[in-house]
Structure formats: C-alpha cells, structure tokens
Structure 1
C-alpha cells in the first residue's frame, strides 16, 4: 500500500512539474530562440548591406587581382623571389610593397608599353616591326626592377654616408651619461634619415620583447650595409664581453670615417675614366669643327679656284 502511495506521489509531482515547465519555461525558450534568429538575420543583413555598400572594385576586382598576383608570385623561382625581397628590404619598401605586386607591375607595364609601341606604329602608318614591340615590352618589364635597384643603391649609400656622423653623436651621448638605448633614441631624434628609421624600427622590436642581438642582426639583413654590419658586430661583442661601449663607439666612428674617405678617394680615381667617353664623343668633335673648320673652308676655296 505504501509503495502505491509513493508511486502516486511521484507521478503527481512529475505531472505538476511538467505542467509548470510547459506553461512558463517553454514559451520563454521559444521567444528567446525567435529573438536570436531575428538577431542573426539582422546581423547577416547588416553585413550584407555593409558589403554591398562597398564599390564594385573592392568587392570583385581587388579579390581577383590578389588571386592573380598570388598565382604569379607562386610561379616565380625561389631565387628570383629572394633577390626581389632583398631589394625591397634594402630599398625600404618592404612594408608597402611585396614581391607579388612588383611582378604584377612589371607584367602590366610590359604589356602597356608593347601595345603602345604597336599602336604608335599603326597610327603613324609605319611598318609594324616585331623587334621594336618586343624591345618596348622588355623595357617595360625591366623598368620597375631598375627603379627598385636604383632606390636600394641610393638608400645604402645614404646609410653609409650618415653612419660616421651618427656614431659621433652617439658616442658623445653615451659619454655624457646616457644609456645606450636612450642615446640611440636621442641621436635618431636629432638626425633624420634612413639610418635613423632603421634604428628606430629595431629599438621598437627590442621594446616589444625581441632580443637585442637578434634585432640588430635583422637590421643588418634588411639594409645590406657592410659598415653597419661591422658596427653591430662590435656592439654585440662589447655587450657579451662587458667592454666599455663608449670606447667601442669611438673606435667605430674613426673606422667608419676612414672607410668613408677611402670610398670618396676610390670614386674620385674613377672620374677620369668616366670622363673619357663624353670627352671623346662630345667635346672632341666640337673642338675639331671649331679648329679645323676654317682651315677646311680655305682649302676648299683654294681648290675650287
């Protein structure tokens, strides 16, 4: 009898709990689910509206362009890619332009110059010469690479030129009592240029947790400046051996100034050789005309009599 009472009590309690659940809990869950569905639909609609507000170029052309240049970059040999990346890093355009973009610009410029040459020949009614079209396309392909290489060379020369003076100011700052890091910040604030930009980038990497030696070596890899590599090596060795940074900076400043003088002397020694061809092909003909012209005229008048 007690067993039946317990069963009845359990069933009654379960029935009341079921009624309470169906009456109060289930409707709230249904409403919540509907609200969540409405929210998802609103978010999807907002995302769709935001996407549709973008221009056709941003929605269609740019993704297609990115995929095409990505494919072109993957097709290039690894040695060519490494060479271009070195030029991009040494020219200071690594963050604004990538290897794929350079290849795409080369191909587009090559096609445009070849088509422009062909169209100009047809416009002037000249016979179409495939050699000229091919040369124009080759020139368009090589022009971005040549520009990038020239920019890299100028930046390397600017760093080499500024390094001795930078080390002088850095040495004075360290001798005045500043720590090496603060001396670099103070010197880069006073002397602007590619060298200061690279050092500031390196110091930011160090402040974010990168090792000093690793950050300095990465700077040398980016710039491809031999004198800067010598300076970085001496600084790393001085820190590892506990040497005086001020003496190292003074020695490095003298060494860099000597290297700068030697480069200037070597450049001056090449000037006569470089001037030979302009003199022979431009100045000598004019001198011959001025000097021998009257004599030739007199001889012609004498023979004609």
Structure 2
C-alpha cells in the first residue's frame, strides 16, 4: 500500500511538472504577444506622422520653395552674390539668408499686389488706376527686402565711419605702448562697441582659424563700403608686406582719417543753407507774409 501510494504521488508530481512545463511556453508566448501588441500600438504615432505630415510641410514648404525658385529667376544670376554682399554690409542679421531674401521678394510682390488692389477698391478707382496701383504695389513689395538691407548697410557703414578715428587712436596708442598688432586689435575689439568692434573681432577669429593677416584684412575691406576703412586696410596690408613699422603707419592713418572727418563736417555745414532754402520758401515765408501783410490786406478790404 505504501509503495502504491508513493507511486501515485510520484505520478501525480510528474503530471503536475509536465503541465507546468507545458504552460510556461504558452505564458511566454502570451507575454511576447502582449509585448508585440504594445510595441505595435506605440508605432502608429510615428507612422501617422509620416503618413500625415503637418500643414507646414504639406503646403507652406512647397509654396516657399516655388517662391524661392521664382525669385531666383526674376532676380538674375548675379542676385545671390549681390544679396550676400548686402548681407555682409548689413552685418548678417539673424535669420537672413540669400534664399530667404529671394523668397521674401516674391512674397512681398504678392503682398504688394494685394495691398494695391485693396487700396484701389477702397478708393473706388477705375480699372486702369487699379491696375497701376497693383503694379506699383508689386514693384514696391519686390524691392522692399533689398531696400531694407541697403538702408541697414548704410546705417552700419555710417556707424563704422564715425567710430573709425577713435578706434585708430586706441590702436595706435596700444601699438606704441608695446603691444603687437593682433593684441592691439583685440584691445580695440574688447574696449569698444558697435559694428567696427564686431568686424575687428571677426578678423581676430579668422586669424585664429588659420587665415593670414592680409587675407583677413582684405575680407574686412570687402565686407564694408567705407572708403576710410578700405584705405586703412590697404595701408596695413602694404606695410605688412613691405616690412614698414606698423606704429608709424597707424599714426599717419589716424591723422589722415581725422582730417577727412573734419572735412566731412565742414562739407555738411556748408550744405545747411542749401537744404534750408526749400522749407524757408514753402513754409516760413508764406507764414511770414500772412502775419505781416494780413492786417494790411484786411484794412485795404475794409477801405474799399
């Protein structure tokens, strides 16, 4: 009986063990299935994103690409070089690139057409005048980005022209005090502010990246349209190539630039009477005539 009971218990244990071993693969398979379902349930987000891109990628980006291509065809082959030069003269504003400027020219033309048409409709203009207003708006919108860059470059050039004499004085004092040219330029870039300090800092970075001093200075002259700065760069490049003492060249350049600034101030002062003629004739003299001759005219009218 004891042997029979033991055999039954062993058989029951074998059966339970076999059942357990047979359920484990099922459980592992179920776990794998659940993991696969969870994995596949998390991927539809990426699949949906690929199958259904946002509105910008579906509509705006192709529209901007077509506008960019149309701007390239309308502006001409040399347009990228001209725009790149204007961007350099304007200080490379953040977010402004050649492709973006070309795109904005076309979008500005379309916006100008819309504005001109709306203005013509609000004024109740006839069809020919409406077409003229739309064409004027298109031309204005097409050239608006270029005019903005030109004005920004002009303002920046004026800031460079005003800051150049003081910067050259500081540069001359630093070199005569014993500093090298590169260290003197670094002192000017660190102790001054404005576009000229930014340009000198860029020259230093270019030299640190391995570019020669002459090449970095020539690049500085190419990025600017200030005649005084171009003359200074030419003198420094020539002095560097011929071995002339830099302190002496800086002293001469500083003196010449101060003379030019004085001459430019005198020229501006001599232009004042000519510029005052137009407001004097059209604004001041009529008011003066009314004040002086008005009472006499009223008296004459009462007498007659």
Do they fold alike, i.e. is TM over 0.5? yes
In structure 1, the partner of 2:62 is: 64
Inter-partner Cα distance in structure 2 for 1:67 and 1:170: 47
Inter-partner Cα distance in structure 2 for 1:62 and 1:206: 41
Q: 1:200 to 1:52 in 2, by over 3 A?
A: farther
Moved more, 52-61 or 269-278: 52-61
State the number of aligned residues.
262
Alpha carbons 2:68, 2:106 under 8 Å: kept: no
Alpha carbons 2:68, 2:103 under 8 Å: kept: no
Q: CA deviation at 1:68?
A: 2.1
In structure 1, the partner of 2:179 is: 178
Structure 2 residue 139 is the aligned partner of structure 1 residue 138: yes
Q: 1:141 to 1:243 in 2, by over 3 A?
A: same
Alpha carbons 1:106, 1:140 under 8 Å: kept: yes
Inter-partner Cα distance in structure 2 for 1:208 and 1:51: 42
Inter-partner Cα distance in structure 2 for 1:69 and 1:125: 31
Inter-partner Cα distance in structure 1 for 2:92 and 2:44: 37
Inter-partner Cα distance in structure 2 for 1:59 and 1:169: 52
Where do 1:1-305 residues align within 5 Å? 48=46, 56-57=54-55, 59-61=57-59, 63-75=61-73, 76-93=75-92, 96-123=95-122, 127=126, 129-130=129-130, 131-303=132-304
Q: CA deviation at 1:56?
A: 2.0
Alpha carbons 2:116, 2:136 under 8 Å: kept: no
Deviations 1:156-176 (A, max 9, x none): 111111111001011111122
Deviations 1:98-141 (A, max 9, x none): 33322332332332233233224435655553223333333333
Q: CA deviation at 1:257?
A: 0.8
Alpha carbons 2:80, 2:98 under 8 Å: kept: yes
Structure 1: runs of 5+ lacking an equivalent: 1-40
Instruction: Note the aligned Cα RMSD (angstroms).
Output: 3.0
Q: 1:278 to 1:178 in 2, by over 3 A?
A: same
Moved more, 289-298 or 80-89: 80-89
Inter-partner Cα distance in structure 1 for 2:123 and 2:49: 47
Structure 2: runs of 5+ lacking an equivalent: 1-38
Inter-partner Cα distance in structure 1 for 2:273 and 2:192: 34
Q: 1:266 to 1:47 in 2, by over 3 A?
A: farther
Q: 1:196 to 1:54 in 2, by over 3 A?
A: farther
Alpha carbons 1:69, 1:100 under 8 Å: kept: no
Inter-partner Cα distance in structure 1 for 2:77 and 2:108: 23
* TM-score, normalised by the number of residues in structure 1: 0.75
Greater Rg, structure 1 or structure 2? 2
Moved more, 130-139 or 167-176: 130-139
In structure 2, the partner of 1:8 is: none
Alpha carbons 1:110, 1:141 under 8 Å: kept: yes
4+ runs of 1 displaced by more than 6 Å?
A: none
* TM-score, normalised by the number of residues in structure 2: 0.76
